[in-house]
Amino acid sequence: MTAQIDTPGTVTTVYKVSGMSCGHCERSVSGELSEVPGVSSVTAVASTGEVTVVSAAPLDEEAVRAAVDEAGFELVGMV
- Largest separation between any pair of C-alpha atoms in the chain: 33
Tell me if 1 is assigned to some domain.
no
pLDDT category, 2, cuts 50, 70, 90? very low
Tell me if 48 is assigned to some domain.
yes
Taking the CA atoms of 11, 45, 25 and 31 in sequence, report the sign of the dihedral they define. positive
Alpha carbon 46 to its chain centroid, in Å, reads 12
Chain segment 14-47, per-residue pLDDT in tens: 999 999 999 999 999 999 999 999 999 999 999 9
The CATH number of residue 44's host domain is: 3.30.70.100
- Reply yes or no on whether the pLDDT at 9 is more than 70: yes
Domain carrying residue 37: 6-78
3-class secondary structure, 18: strand
